[in-house]
Structure 1
Amino acid sequence: MTFLEFLLILLVLYYVIYVLLWIVLDCNVALWYKSRFGVSLSSMRGQVVWITGASRGIGRALALSLARHGVRLVLSARRVEQLEQVQSECLAAARGLLAQKDVLILPMDMLELEKHQSHLYTVLNHFEKLDVLVNNAGRSQRANWTDISVEVDRELFELDVFSVVHLSRLVVRYFLEQNGGRGHLAATSSIAGFSPVPFSATYCAAKHALNAYLLALKVEQRKLDITIFAPGPVATDFLQEAFTGSQGTKVGLSTANQKRLTAERCGELFAVSLANKMDLTWCGLFPVNFLAYCARNSTLTKILAQFMTEKTLNKIREGKL
């Protein structure tokens, strides 16, 4: 066997193993590696992390994962009662690493842009610093492309894109003025943000737009850490509040008994991506993780398009396949 043949065999084995990992893992390979051998979550102990949409789902799960390692938290959402419950859960999970003053409840409506600055001042007055902003608040959508009213397009973009960008700009200005341009900005995106799925056109567009905003920021501000976390289907009540194609209506469906990643696992992986300051990560059960990898390759995307109908893609997206 020549040296060139040996190298060719190694290359083939590498790609075979890599594809197998796409199938077996519930996240991208880099994130899985960091969860095993990367920076420990304990490295974030004492940092201040502000999480929007923290009252349930991924935001709640992320807060609990960070609290277990002594990360100080700001919990924001509209429902005070739910935030108080999450605060109690975080303090219990911390096992003495956090006191009540270390988990701040900050009720807020992301759409009230005029209050964003005062909310930031509240965080800074309480903790005297902010290390990480996690933009997690948002809503999904289920609707046929042709049935979506432009009013719904505007409402979804206002919540999932413009409110996030507005709050992020205020925090980035703080990072630039107080930390010499250093800080960490994160957002809950979606695999739909780089791999469009059927029956959610506005949501897909919003996540694509959010990704572009954050990636453009990274180009301009190289000292900033930017984390785009893109889950696939997760077992939360996300569909209860999801937009439809008509203004003022909600999907109102449950995700129970569907094949979805648990919110707890999703929050754990999100926490790992923050601790390791990863730029783009994603998670999802097979075949979602496999399809996410394929979507990052234009050739594989074209090949899959020949075999995947919109009905098949929708079954995968809804955890029915």
Structure 2
Amino acid sequence: MVCFFTAAAVAVLGTLLLFLVTLLFSDGDVLLMFKTKFGKQPDSLAGKVVWITGASSGIGEHIAYCLAKAGCRLVLSARRIEELEKVKQKCLLIGKDHISESDVFVLPLDIVAFDTHKPAVQTVLQKFNQIDILINNAGRGQQAVWMDVELSVDRQMFEINVLGPVSLTQQVLPHMIQRHRGHIIVVSSVAGKIGPPHFRSYTGSKHALHGYFECLRNELDQYDIDVTLACPGPVVSNISLVSLTGKPGEIVKKQFTASNMRMATGRCAYLICVAVANRLYEAWISRHPSLVILYLNQYFPDLTKWILKKAGKLVVLKIRTHLD
């Protein structure tokens, strides 16, 4: 009996050590890292019709490149048609062995023009006859001290980051329900899981996304429709060029640069595509320290709240030092 408990203790300690070592060298949660090595790759999505919002730059743009390489038929949406056309041409170049001109469709869309969402869905269906995957990536950042944020900024962020994806999803779902198949992806954030300081409106909107779409997931099982919440941490992107502050109409106008705390945009997009291919419920995509904070928050929430209260501002300040 003593030998049994000794062996069990060694096994538990060994498993814990393996987990910690894996976590140390990871830029995503353990299940996601396992799927990158042994699960389905993005090329398993070949032939699927994938609609990507916010596809003109940043994570959405690079998701488009990854899926073009995989052989997906793409619908690219954002407000800036000129930028979408550039993304389309690069998609055709990257995916030249798998897709043609007719497989990439540019559809300008303002995510807060709610009355245009239903006609946009009909346009996509007229083009491809189906929508297999909807990637709700369109969104906006915001940075300001909590007390400096005006309520109108909260309202604007909520419409862009929450009600926009909710509205578009609601228009796409009848088609997926009728087919008894589909996949809804929402690009949330690490800020949707914890409460980093100085991101009041952004953090609040990302938390709201989890509430809306986790509720949806639990209603869709009978239709074989999955919902994936992707939670990227700091990524090299231009999000701060258009991020709001706490004042209406005021923009941060700064560019994130590469650092050891920021993930390359292409790597982030690839990991999101792996999460899509494997139909994961949720995917954490980040370098440290954000990734380890997510794990601490999951298993030691009170400790994490204390750490964020004491050191959260220092972490945010360090991240902000990598702005042009």
Shorter-chain TM-score range: over 0.9
Contact conserved, 1:39 with 1:276, CA < 8 A, in 2? yes
Q: CA RMSD in A?
A: 1.5
Q: How does 1:222-233 map to 2 (within 5 A)?
A: 222=221, 223-233=224-234
- Say if 1:288 and 1:316, in contact at 8 Å, map to a contact too: no
Cα distance in 2, alignment partners of residues 235 and 272 from structure 1: 19
What amino acid maps onto 2:296 in structure 1? C
Map 1:144-293 → 2, pairs under 5 A: 144-176=145-177, 178-180=178-180, 182-222=181-221, 223-258=224-259, 259-293=261-295
* Number of the residue aligned with 2:131: 130
Gaps of 5+ in 1: none
The SS at the match of 2:70 is coil
Give the counterpart letter for 1:213 in structure 2.
Answer: Y
Kindly indicate whether the alpha-carbon contact (under 8 Å) linking 1:77 and 1:106 is maintained by their aligned counterparts in 2. Answer: yes
User: Is residue 42–residue 67 contact of structure 2 (8 Å, CA) maintained in 1?
Assistant: yes
State the 1:315 CA deviation.
3.3
What is the alpha-carbon distance in structure 1 between the residues aligned to residue 321 and residue 44 of structure 2?
35
Q: Closer, same or farther in 2 for the Cα pair 1:76/1:16, shift >3 Å?
A: same
Once residues 50 and 78 of structure 2 are traced to their aligned partners in structure 1, the CA distance between those partners, rounded to angstroms, is 14
Secondary structure at the aligned position of 1:82 is classed as helix
Residue number in structure 2 paired with 1:74: 75
Gaps of 5+ in 2: none
2:28–2:285 CA contact under 8 A, matched in 1: yes
Deviation string 1:249-281 (CA, Å, 9 cap, x unpaired) is: 111111124431000000110110101101100
- What is residue 18 of structure 1 aligned with on the other side? 19
Give how far 1:303 is off. 5.6
Q: Show the counterpart of 1:301.
A: 304
4+ long deviations beyond 6 Å: none
C-alpha deviation, 1:2, in angstroms: 0.6
Q: Conserved in 2, the CA contact under 8 Å of 1:24 and 1:286?
A: no
Contact persistence 1:237–1:255 (CA under 8 A): yes
Instruction: Output aligned runs, 1:42-121, within 5 Å.
Output: 42-121=43-122
Post-superposition Cα deviations, 1:125-150, rounded to whole Å, max 9, x if no partner, equal: 00000000000000011000001000
Provide the C-alpha distance between the structure 1 equivalents of 2:267 and 2:158, rounded to a whole number of angstroms.
Answer: 28
TM-score by length of 1: 0.95
In structure 2, give the amino acid aligned to 1:104: F
Q: How many residues are paired up?
A: 317
Give the stretch that moved more between structures: 297-306 or 26-35.
Answer: 297-306
Same amino acid, percent of matched pairs: 34
Query: Contact 2:258–2:264 at 8 Å: present in 1 too?
Result: no
Counterpart-to-counterpart distance in 2, 1:291 and 1:40: 27
Higher relative contact order (CA 8 A, sep 6+): 1
Contact 2:141/2:243 (8 A) holds in 1: yes
Check whether the contact 1:58–1:263 (CA below 8 A) recurs between aligned residues: yes
TM-score normalised by the chain length of structure 2: 0.94
| CA displacement at 1:316 relative to structure 2 | 5.3
